[in-house]
């Protein structure tokens, strides 16, 4: 079994799931709620011992519905808390995520997604892109979405995720897949420079967190976190506030660019497909082809402006492991300025760089 014992901080050889667990604990996680589902089981298994060792609380919930509502409760109290699951379970969590968004409650949701629709399979898939970036639940709400491609990013992004959740008091989703979750890689288990402290996170929610009003001093008034706004015009005001927050979030956009300056064709891919595309591109560049890679690290906010800047005079090819989801956002971003091609890999398949070479060459023709 995975356990903290025997591993020293520094360099560790771990799966993406294990990197998530280490990253979460090192980033100050206090409460974890989860339910078994493949391919993310190492996260709850590991945190069931690791988190209590670090003074936190681990609950194996009765369902993903239970888990996300526990997250809502812990988030309302202003403590760093998270859930993890996979596609079907994330679908069950959507109601709670919508309530959290509507109530300004921070929390981190890890989706190591699987093939769908329905029970699908446990192979790699990026079929939850729409669900993650378009809100997923009911009503106009958005999650901040981070898409790691490596175990190292799984570790590093947990710090980013908690900071964003607390700065914006909003659900933050980590969207990975079976490749990211299960691939074992060396990870530098060192908190990223400038990591925010637990005290800093608490300062961000001091005027909102629920704790019993007595904890706030003698003159404190009771507080309420809610998403219901029935009075005429009240919900409109609430939605305007949320939209202004989402506009503010746009500055958090993150992406990676490789060899784009001389590129005739830029391949756009996220997560595990970004890695596979990079290998194919390296091979083709050695053969003299001017091809670049653009990898969004945040899927929401989406790096529209960066893509708009790159679009004139180039071709884009979106490679993703679904039936065409991120390509819609790329086409919206460039708005016809350059041709946007698409290559989809069917969910559940394991593809190597070899299988991406031909589709990339076709886009160059």
Partner 1 sequence: MASAKHLHPQEAETPVFDVNPVLGERATHYCPGCHHGIAHRLVSEALYELGVADKTILVASVGCSAFAYDYFNVDSVEAPHGRACAVATGIRRARPEAVVFTYQGDGDMAAIGIGESLHAANRGEKITAVFINNTVYGMTGGQMAPTTLIGQKTTTTLHGRNFHSEGGPIRLAEIMAQLQGVAHASRCALDSVKHVKEAKKAVRRAFDVQIAGLGFGFVELLSGCPTNWRMDPVSANRRIATDMIPVFPLGVFKDVKGT
Note the residues at the interface with partner 1 (CB under 8 A): 30-31, 33, 57, 59, 61-63, 65-67, 69-79, 81, 95-96, 99, 103, 210-215, 220, 222-228
Q: Least distance to partner 1 from the beta carbon of 74, Å?
A: 4
Tokens 């064709």 correspond to 265
Count other Cβ atoms within 10 Å, centred on residue 101. 26
CB nearer to partner 1: give 218 or 286: 218
Q: Least distance to partner 1 from the beta carbon of 137, Å?
A: 10
DSSP assignment of 85-127, as one string?
Answer: E-HHHHHHHHHHHHHHHHHT--EEEEEEE-B-STT-BSS---T
* Whole-angstrom distance, CA of residue 233 vs CA of residue 245: 19
Q: Least distance to partner 1 from the beta carbon of 319, Å?
A: 37
Q: Least distance to partner 1 from the beta carbon of 234, Å?
A: 13
Q: How far is CA 155 from CA 110, 189, 257, 260, 326, in A?
A: 12, 7, 21, 27, 24
Q: Least distance to partner 1 from the beta carbon of 208, Å?
A: 11
* Whole-angstrom distance, CA of residue 181 vs CA of residue 21: 11
Q: Least distance to partner 1 from the beta carbon of 314, Å?
A: 46
CB nearer to partner 1: give 106 or 176: 106
* Whole-angstrom distance, CA of residue 95 vs CA of residue 74: 16
* Whole-angstrom distance, CA of residue 197 vs CA of residue 199: 5
CB nearer to partner 1: give 201 or 263: 201
CB nearer to partner 1: give 214 or 336: 214
* Whole-angstrom distance, CA of residue 127 vs CA of residue 121: 12
What is the chain's length? 365
At 291 the three-state DSSP class reads strand
CB nearer to partner 1: give 29 or 269: 29
CB nearer to partner 1: give 69 or 325: 69
């Amino acid at each position: 079994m995975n356990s903290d014992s025997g591993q020293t901080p520094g360099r560790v050889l771990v799966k993406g799931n294990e990197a998530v667990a280490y990253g979460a604990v090192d980033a100050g996680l206090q409460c974890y709620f989860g339910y078994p589902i493949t391919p993310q089981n190492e996260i709850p298994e590991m945190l069931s011992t690791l988190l209590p060792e670090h003074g936190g609380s681990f609950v194996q919930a009765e369902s993903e519905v239970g888990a996300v509502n526990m997250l809502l409760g812990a988030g309302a109290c202003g403590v760093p808390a998270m859930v993890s699951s996979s596609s079907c379970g994330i679908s069950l969590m959507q109601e709670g995520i919508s309530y959290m968004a509507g109530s300004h409650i921070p929390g981190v949701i890890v989706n190591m997604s699987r093939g769908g629709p329905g029970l699908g399979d446990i192979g790699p898939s990026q079929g939850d892109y729409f669900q993650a970036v378009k809100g997923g639940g009911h009503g106009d709400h958005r999650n901040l979405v981070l898409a790691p491609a490596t175990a190292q990013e799984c570790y590093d992004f947990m710090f980013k995720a908690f900071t964003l959740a607390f700065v914006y008091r909003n659900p933050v989703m980590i969207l990975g897949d079976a490749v990211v979750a299960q691939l074992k890689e060396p990870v530098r288990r060192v908190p990223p420079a400038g990591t925010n402290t637990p005290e800093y996170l608490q300062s961000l929610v001091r005027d909102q967190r629920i704790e019993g009003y007595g904890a706030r001093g003698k003159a404190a008034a009771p507080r309420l976190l809610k998403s219901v706004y029935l009075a005429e015009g009240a919900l409109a005001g609430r939605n305007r506030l949320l939209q202004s927050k989402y506009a503010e979030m746009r500055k958090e956009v993150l992406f990676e660019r490789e060899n784009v300056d001389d590129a005739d064709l830029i391949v756009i891919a996220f997560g595990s497909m970004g890695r596979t595309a990079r290998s194919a591109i390296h091979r083709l560049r050695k053969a003299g082809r001017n091809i670049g890679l653009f990898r969004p690290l945040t899927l929401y906010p989406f790096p529209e402006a960066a893509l708009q800047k790159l679009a004139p005079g180039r071709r884009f090819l979106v490679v993703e492991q679904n039936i065409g989801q991120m390509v819609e956002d790329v086409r919206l971003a460039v708005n016809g300025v350059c041709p946007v091609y698409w290559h989809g890999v069917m969910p559940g398949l394991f593809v190597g760089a070899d299988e991406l070479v031909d589709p990339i060459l076709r886009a160059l023709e």
